[in-house]
Structure 1
């Protein structure tokens, strides 16, 4: 591999890592225009394993607006990112996959509060693994598919 190809690979990996970070921030901030901008025009997402829906980016953003609106606090921690760039003639290609684990503590609004409860403490946590597919576009790397594989969740009843 030439230095140019190595440099390109590093730059692609950094851009894709930034894309995944942008995904987490958009979800946590409820920034749905930013969320949609992370995807290709034909982008899709599948949240069915977490009790959600599968659909276009616009359909998913509308669903997330409703569902995540029930949580006053959200923090998506996306870790253990394994980025695999497609190769073309020994050089980086225009597609990539990312496998990444997530831990998502949140605060569900409307749960009965007990005296002494911390209103900022998470009471709903879920975790699993994301499968991201990204594609190089004229505007940079964009997500073409996101699939959530939820492994577990925990809801802490009030007073515990």
Structure 2
């Protein structure tokens, strides 16, 4: 495989990783977190503060689940800047919070800066910076 084809494949895999991250959150598949995150993942967000390691990240998410509340994460504008076995990734996103069969009661727009790394198991997220842009109560 040529370098150009490798870069294209890496970009596809990283974009797929970002989609799998959103689905993991929406489907609440916490036991699959290692398919998305590196073991030493770091998450920086206004809501969660500084979280380090898969255990801390999943623990925070589980503690903050609201019974009956669902989410739909939409991620757009995925920009991948490859540098060997590491990539800087930027995204925009909208998250809808809703209860089954009802319109969203809360919506938030955000920007993310991520670092993805190549591991023996494939690309994984090592670091995420979540920056809310706006919110709307419905």
Provide the C-alpha distance between the structure 2 equivalents of 1:84 and 1:136, rounded to a whole number of angstroms: 13
Measured in 1, the distance between the counterparts of 2:49 and 2:65 equals: 13
Q: CA deviation at 1:70?
A: 4.1
Q: Match of 1:8, SS?
A: helix
Q: Deviations over 1:59-117 (max 9, x none)?
A: 1211111223345221000001101101xxxxxx100011000100112x6xxxxxxxx
Aligned with 2:88 (options 97, 112, 123): 97
How many residue pairs align between the two structures? 137
2:73 is aligned to: 76
Hey, what's the Cα distance between the residues in 1 that align with 2:72 and 2:65? Answer: 11
Structure 2 counterpart SS, 1:121:
coil
Partner of 1:149: 131
How far apart are the structure 1 equivalents of 2:73 and 2:32? 16
RMSD between aligned alpha carbons? 1.7
Choose the corresponding residue for 2:97, options 100, 103, 106.
106
Instruction: Quickly say closer, same or farther: Cα 1:136–1:18, change in 2 above 3 A.
Output: same
3-state SS of paired residue (2:103): coil
How far the C-alpha of 1:128 sits from its partner, in A, is 1.1
Secondary structure at the aligned position of 2:48 is classed as coil
Aligned position for 1:62: 59
Structure 2: give runs of 5+ residues left out of the alignment: none
TM-score by length of 2: 0.91
Query: 4+ residue runs of structure 1 moved beyond 6 angstroms?
Result: none
Whole-angstrom CA distance in 2 between matches of 1:98 and 1:136: 13
Q: Check if 1:45 corresponds to 2:43.
A: yes
Deviations 1:34-72 (A, max 9, x none): 224311121111122xx2232122112111112233452
